[in-house]
A and B are shown apart, each in its own frame.
Chain A
Amino acid sequence: GESVGLHLPTLSVQEGDNSIINCAYSNSASDYFIWYKQESGKGPQFIIDIRSNMDKRQGQRVTVLLNKTVKHLSLQIAATQPGDSAVYFCAEKWQGGKLIFGQGTELSVKP
């Protein structure tokens, strides 16, 4: 299940299940979005991106969905594995090239 509160939102899933991580972005003028994965002790690592003229993009085991009407992004991970455990951030590109990160969700995969 998913919990949101004073701490980083956490999503706990069983190995092999699909995961859906959600993100609300703030700037309706943002034209480009990225999902990053950050493991403990490492920098953020690129997963997948999407331009604002698209509403869906698929990668290997990952899909990003963009709903501009409600300023919402989601990341779907198929057949989640223990190695997917990490914090996931969405990021939006503002004018001038600024990449601004959302709050993040911690994904915990139970074997």
Chain B
Amino acid sequence: DTEVTQTPKHLVMGMTNKKSLKCEQHMGHRAMYWYKQKAKKPPELMFVYSYEKLSINESVPSRFSPECPNSSLLNLHLHALQPEDSALYLCASSQDPAPGGANVLTFGAGSRLTVL
């Protein structure tokens, strides 16, 4: 299995809703990532988990809450979002983010979020 699977593919939510995005990989990768991508823009890093521990938080607002229940799963919990949070949310995984090493990220197809 060489895929990163993201669910749901599309999500529409109101500003008072609580929802979650889910990501799964079975490649034995030990690093997992959340990126946010707006239309016609590059992916922007949000969070990095390394060996199931949060290693990087790019000053993301607390209305986004990541969770890594085990080495294969990554969730992004959403609460009290704003319309400007509407974007494509991409999950990725890599073998090992060790300094000095290659670090090929494998991406999922993304979850397209619309906040009304």
Contact = CB atoms under 8 A, between A and B. Distances in A.
A binds B: yes
B55 interface: yes
A42 interface: yes
Contacts of B101: 32
Given A97-B97, A97-B98, A41 B103 contact: no
Interface residues of A, number: 26
B21 interface: no
Contacts of A41: 109
B45 A100 contact: yes
Nearest to A89: B42
B109 to A, nearest CB: 5
B105 interface: yes
A7 interface: yes
Nearest to A42: B109
Given A97-B50, A97-B56, A31 B105 contact: no
